[in-house]
């Protein structure tokens, strides 16, 4: 997929609009994980160094009514960005209007401006999220060039990505979006082999498209997390009170048949009687699970088996934790996968955003994998083989 990259643009003296993904977790207006800000820095620094006038914008959370705006301003993020850039970031607490327009016109080459949360435009008719034509045209009018560097929203057709792209002369991908295209797209379409996928999370229904696409591409798919229990029950195994999509049992069996041995399932699990970190737990095989027990993590034999399969892998894509890693007593499987991936030599290890990315970062393995995606939903749709609007809107080379 040959797309125009920011380095293909002549940005000198131009006003460059950059859609970043600064949808970061916050508590009491304090950022608790700034990974997405850090990942956006190469693109921002590049256009600054090349004497562009820089206009940044992002969404933060969901905003449906006026009261939802509380705690959703981008101003704290602008202040954090100043620390990383070592220069002033002028923050405009508006998404449109004369104050914003005058501030953009007053920018000098190398200066940076950030305007307010794009989702504030959703209060009156979801103008941002429904790609209101007038809004996309208005935002495009603020600049000369558009750079989309927000992979986290690339699976959505919004005014701040597709809408702007339709109304401006040149559209390029930022360096982060380029990385996502190359790593996730490249891993699926042209992987070094063996190519192993690890899929976890709660529901089979959320991953049907991913499984079907990866069955055509991967050499093995290792299954974990809550979704594994639907597969196990479909094969007649005892899962007790474990989470299960009973309406997907036939589908699970169809996927097993279609996989022809490519799907690999847990052989033991860590069970307990209550959904609690403090409840007593034990390791059980599937023929030993009691009717009042639920599985909250994979067991040691499963981890050992998965490690054996992974040891020779050249490409690994991981999406979804293999247990309830938020509970320390049931995080062993997920941390174990982190350790295995960190030990692989000469392998591309790609973490597909969302909870699996959080697990890798929180447990200190971020610098021991090849790439951590900044988009959970976007990476899932990319793994399904879908065309992402936020990527498609970037100019082809």
Residues annotated as catalytic (active site), given as ranges: 36, 203, 354, 377
322, 326, 331, 334: CA torsion to nearest 10: 40
Smallest Cα–Cα separation from 242: which of 229, 231, 225?
229
Tokens 């939802």 belong to: 68
Contact indicator for 237, 244 with CB cutoff of 8 Å: no
Tokens 């104050």 belong to: 99
* Backbone torsions φ then ψ of 73, nearest 5 degrees: -75, 150
How far apart are alpha carbons 340 and 344 in whole angstroms?
7
How far apart are alpha carbons 154 and 135 in whole angstroms?
18
How far apart are alpha carbons 126 and 119 in whole angstroms?
8
What is the greatest pairwise CA distance in the chain? 71
How far apart are alpha carbons 135 and 290 in whole angstroms?
57
How far apart are alpha carbons 349 and 335 in whole angstroms?
15
Contact indicator for 196, 219 with CB cutoff of 8 Å: yes
DSSP 314: S
Contact indicator for 341, 368 with CB cutoff of 8 Å: yes
Lookup: tokens for 268: 């033991």
Lookup: tokens for 189: 């379409």
Q: Does residue 321 come out as left (phi exceeding 0), alpha (psi in the -120 to 50 range) or beta?
A: beta
- List the 268-272 sheet strands across, edge first: 281-285, 268-272, 294-298
């Amino acid at each position: 997929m040959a797309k125009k990259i920011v380095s293909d643009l002549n940005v000198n003296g131009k006003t460059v609009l950059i859609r970043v993904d600064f949808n970061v977790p916050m508590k009491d207006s304090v950022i608790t994980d700034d990974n997405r800000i850090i990942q956006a820095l190469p693109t921002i620094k590049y256009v600054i160094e090349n004497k562009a006038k820089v206009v940044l914008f992002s969404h933060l959370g969901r905003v449906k009514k006026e009261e939802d705006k509380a705690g959703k301003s981008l101003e704290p993020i602008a202040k954090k960005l100043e620390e990383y850039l070592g220069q002033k970031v002028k923050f405009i607490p508006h998404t449109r209007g004369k104050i914003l327009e005058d501030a953009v016109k007053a920018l000098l080459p190398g200066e940076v401006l950030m305007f307010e949360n794009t989702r504030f435009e959703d209060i009156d008719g979801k103008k941002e999220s429904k790609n209101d034509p007038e809004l996309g045209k208005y935002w495009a009018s603020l600049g000369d060039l558009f750079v989309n560097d927000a992979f986290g929203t690339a699976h959505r057709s919004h005014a701040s990505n597709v809408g702007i792209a339709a109304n401006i002369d040149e559209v390029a991908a930022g360096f982060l979006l380029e990385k996502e295209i190359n790593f996730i797209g490249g891993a699926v379409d042209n992987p070094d082999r063996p190519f192993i996928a690890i899929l976890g999370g709660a529901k089979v229904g959320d991953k049907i498209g991913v499984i079907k696409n990866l069955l055509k591409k991967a050499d093995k798919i290792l299954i974990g997390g809550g979704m594994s229990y639907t597969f196990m029950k479909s094969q007649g195994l005892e899962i007790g009170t474990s989470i299960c999509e009973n309406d997907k049992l036939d589908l699970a069996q169809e996927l097993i048949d279609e996989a022809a041995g490519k799907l690999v399932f847990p052989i033991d699990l860590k069970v307990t009687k209550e959904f609690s970190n403090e409840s007593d737990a034990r390791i059980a095989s599937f023929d030993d699970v009691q009717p009042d027990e639920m599985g909250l993590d994979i067991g040691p034999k499963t981890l050992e088996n998965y490690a054996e399969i992974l040891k020779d892998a050249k490409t690994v894509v991981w999406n979804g934790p293999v247990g309830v890693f938020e509970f320390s007593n049931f995080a062993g499987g997920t941390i174990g996968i982190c350790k295995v991936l960190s030990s692989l030599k000469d392998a591309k290890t790609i973490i597909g955003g969302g909870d699996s990315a959080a697990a890798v970062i929180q447990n200190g393995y971020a610098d021991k994998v090849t790439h951590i995606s900044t988009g959970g939903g976007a990476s899932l749709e990319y793994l399904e083989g879908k065309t992402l609007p936020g990527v498609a809107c970037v100019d082809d080379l």
